[in-house]
Structure 1
Amino acid sequence: EQVDSANKRGSLLEVVQVLTDLDLLIRRAYVSSDGEWFMDVFHVTDKNGNRVMEEDIAETIQQSLGPRTCSFRARNRSVGVQAISENTSIELTGRDRPGLLSDVFAVLTDNNCNVVAAEVWTHNSRMASVVYITDETTGSVIDDPDRIAKIKQLLLYVLEGNRDKRIANTAVLMGSTHKERRLHQMMYDNRDYDMTNLDVGSTSERRKPVITVENCTDKAYTVVNLRCIDRPKLFFDAVCTLTDMQYVVYHATV
């Protein structure tokens, strides 16, 4: 898959996000962007390692990049994109503890909420979660301000049962968000990278990622080298992290 498009901040993340949403694994990638244009080349397979034969990957990427001038060179392919039903999104961040998710779902159940879907991340004793709910009786979006305020406050009480109340937070949104992108932002805002005073288990030396950072003074770039065990969505996670840290990827080889 080759993508040529007018460049803007976040273009790389948008393209990688589309490939990730389509459950495609990025086996190899070449990223090049200078000035007002970028060209990215991705070698992808499905999650089983098979060659992708569907038709509309290019069209899906083009829609994600908006009306800007784009050109795509790829075989005719098509991948179904799951429609997202209307719901209310609840975002939660706080200190992780045993039984926390059970307590969160108990609050929602007691308030006649139907949990449509949920994604939970934990890292360095921090927790971030996006929960999609509807009204248990009508199956529709919950938009009553008083009811939303009550749910938020009850969930905040649950989160503040953790050791550190300062990092507990709840937010309620109408409609859908890109949950994995949002979870990256929530974890970053919650400083999950901060190891201070956290009881974190040791990582095997063999499995630790090797990361080096070098300044390329002649081209005014900083070069980041990452070597670690591969896994699905790793490139997406890396681009999200760099974006959240306010860095722009100009060139990359994966």
Structure 2
Amino acid sequence: MEIGYKPYVDPAVESIIERIHPPRVCIDNDTCRDCTLVKVDSANKHGILLEMVQVLTDLDLLISKSYICSDGGWLMDVFHVKDRLGCKITDEKLIRYIQQVRMLSISENKMGSREDREGPGPCIGRDVRPWHVLTNHTALEMTTTDRPGLMSEISAVLAETGCHISAAVVWTHNARAACILYVDDPSQLPRLLSQLENVLDAHHCSGGSRSVMRLSEAGPGQTHTERRLHQLLAGDSDYEQCCSAPERGNGDDDGRCYRKRSCTSETYIKIENCEERGYSIVTIRSGDRPKLLFDTICALTDMHYVVFHASISSHDSKSFQEYYIRHKDGWTLNSEIERHRLTQCLIAATERRISHGLRLDVCTQNRLGLLSDITRVFRENGLSITMAEIGTRGDRAEGTFYLKDVSGQTVKPETLESLRKEIIGGTVLVVHKSPGRLSQTTSSSGEKPGFSLGGLLWAQVEKFSNNYFRPIKY
């Protein structure tokens, strides 16, 4: 007879507990020599772990280790964090912000208001959220079959009707694409939906290819953009090709331990049950990268699993994650089908953000139809977008694109030269040989190539003006 473990907590009592014992955050810069400890204790509720990790990752902090304990009605979590340069957090304004209780109280209304989300952004010199995440704009969400030129066709339809795109994020995985576009004037979108549907369906075969499109209203209830991209691709079943059939683990006689390997990455998943404690133990070994913990917790939370204990660490570009979980209804993973699906979804979560292809950063003056022009340049040069993040800062437009040629191969040097020739004025292109490594800066203004750790490009952008993409003739 299988037993489900589900402590009952009256919702009214749970609300009172949260108000009496709000989250407390302690910043410890003394215990560890090379990282800052962020210690959190709070009344426990479903989803609060994801909210904490989301806040830290939105602040561009790297989580190298984490110890999570949230059994019962209380949680005590410790995060080992560094900034993007691998240093401790020493900015007093940032430390004070992290310590603010309301930072971790966004669960009261999911995303919170724009003021809550951005919080004291100006006082720490930047927005809290990623620059491409907007909460005060209507979001147009799409999932469809990935193909070369897709973003060019979508943005061209919007540009032709005068619809301005303030930000856009695109992920591709397993031949599927998910896109979220933020628009300033949503009044035109309803009549554009049929045109966009025609674009999405134009290359579909009759064999069951599918596209989904919906509008998400601006407001406090809007889901975090990157979490929403995970949800869109998972809802599109992009995880189905992420691993082979289960293999029984060595030395396991009851058939409850399985190992699976991703088809496209070195990701290993092991799932077993701890009968005496009533947990399922999920072990994940994969390559390390920024926001990996956020992506994993997204998958577990959206599949309605509760993390009671966890240990996360990274070393030499490898990540080890171990979770003690139960389903939200109190049950462990007792069927092979359920384990197989969880394994697929976790591997997909680790893969979606892995950038493939050449990274190209673009910065220029913002204007109507800019995204359409940029993506048309890529399409005309035989390039396909594998991932993109585009946003605006005042009158400037900034974008990061990951590109491959239409055959999936690396972008050739002559193609980069062709891209450079398409740009006039002071538009800046920064080419990276690999994610996070700057290799070449190209600017039509004649500036010498420069090297940077990330912020140098945008610090130099203000030197330029009148940055426009040359109109492209058909």
Give the TM-score taking structure 1 as reference length.
Answer: 0.83
Alignment deviations for residues 10-56 of structure 1 (CA, whole Å, 9 cap, x no partner): 11111111111111110110010111111111011112211112321
Matches within 5 A, 1:55-74: 55=95, 56-59=97-100, 61-66=103-108
Correspondence for 1:221 among 266, 271, 279: 279
1:106 equivalent among 149, 156, 175:
156
> 1:188, 1:244 within 8 Å by CA — same for their partners in 2?
no
- Residue identity matched to 1:10: G
How far apart in 1 are the matches of 2:177 and 2:87? 34
Give 1:16's aligned residue. Answer: 53
Structure ID, larger Rg: 2
Q: Gaps (5+ residues) in structure 1?
A: 68-77, 135-140
Structure-to-structure mapping, 1:148-159, within 5 angstroms: 148-159=189-200
Corresponding residue for residue 6 of structure 1: 43
Task: Extract structure 1 runs of 4+ deviating beyond 6 A.
Answer: none
Q: Which residue identity does 1:180 align to in structure 2?
A: E
| 2:228 is the alignment partner of 1:193 | no
**2: CA distance, partners of 1:9 / 1:125:** 32
Residue 82 of structure 1 deviates from its aligned partner by 4.7
Which residue number corresponds to residue 29 of structure 1?
A: 66
Residue correspondence of structure 1 range 87-236 to structure 2 within 5 A: 87-134=137-184, 141-142=185-186, 144=187, 147-163=188-204, 167-175=210-218, 177=222, 178-195=224-241, 203=264, 207-236=265-294
Q: Distance in 1 between matches of 2:135 and 2:233?
A: 25
Mark the CA change 1:82 to 1:10 in structure 2 (over 3 Å): closer, same or farther: closer
Aligned partners of 2:163 and 2:183 also within 8 Å: yes
**How many Å separate the matches in 2 of 1:219 and 1:167?**
43
Matched, 1:253 2:253: no
**Cα distance in 2, alignment partners of residues 156 and 48 from structure 1:** 43
The 3-state SS of whatever aligns with 2:272 is: strand
Residue 166 (structure 1) shift: 5.0
**Identical pairs, percent:** 42
Deviations 1:117-152 (A, max 9, x none): 111010001111111112xxxxxx32x3xx322222
Equivalent residue pairs, number: 228
Q: Does the 8 Å contact 2:272/2:282 carry over to 1?
A: yes
Unpaired segments of 5 or more residues in structure 2? 1-37, 110-122, 243-261, 313-474
Distance 1:7 1:202, change over 3 A: closer
Q: Secondary structure of 2:85's partner?
A: coil
Give the Å deviation of 1:111. 1.4
Report which stretch shifted further, 165-174 or 38-47. 165-174
SS of match in other structure, 2:270: strand
RMSD: 2.2
**Kept in 1: contact 2:51–2:104 (CA 8 A):** no
Q: What residue in structure 2 maps to residue 137 of structure 1?
A: none
Aligned residue for 2:88, secondary structure, equals: coil
Q: Distance in 2 between matches of 1:113 and 1:130?
A: 15
Q: One-letter code of the match for 1:157?
A: N
**Structure 2 counterpart of 1:38, from 56, 66, 75:** 75
